Amino acid sequence: MILRIKRKFSAAHKLPDYKGDCADLHGHTWHVVFEVEGPLSLGGMVFDFKLLKPLLEDLLPDHKYLNDFIPNPTAENICAWLFEKASAALAKKNLDLKTIEVWENEDAAAIIRR
């Protein structure tokens, strides 16, 4: 069974290896979609949404400067960084992260699928 959770965070970054406007400091309201897989319990749930939402939200770098912990914070690198963090946190709950989408804006996203 797959659970899908959407969250968002606001953060600033600059792209040091980019030639253009994005090399300058700027920010986004990022949207993240997590797809989490786990077995369906006898009670009919994979995991309580009330517990899953804050678990995933606590991983998000809300109101942070992304370059402080991701040297080149492209959408792709942010996606990979969040995938690693979320995978580790979910494994402790016997859940697998199958997909993560990091949306820089409404038209552009980086996606990792396992």
The pLDDT of residue 76 is 98
pTM: 0.95
The pLDDT of residue 58 is 97
* Helix H or strand E segment including 51: helix 49-57
Per residue of the chain (114 residues), give pLDDT as tens.
Answer: 999 999 999 999 999 999 999 999 999 999 999 999 999 999 999 999 999 999 999 999 999 999 999 999 999 999 999 999 999 999 999 999 999 999 999 999 999 999
Contact residues for 19 (Cβ-Cβ < 8 A; gap 6+)? none
Strand ranges (E), the chain: 2-13, 26-37, 64-65, 96-105, 108-113
Q: How many domains does the chain have?
A: 1
Structural domain of 84 = 2-113
CATH, residue 49: 3.30.479.10
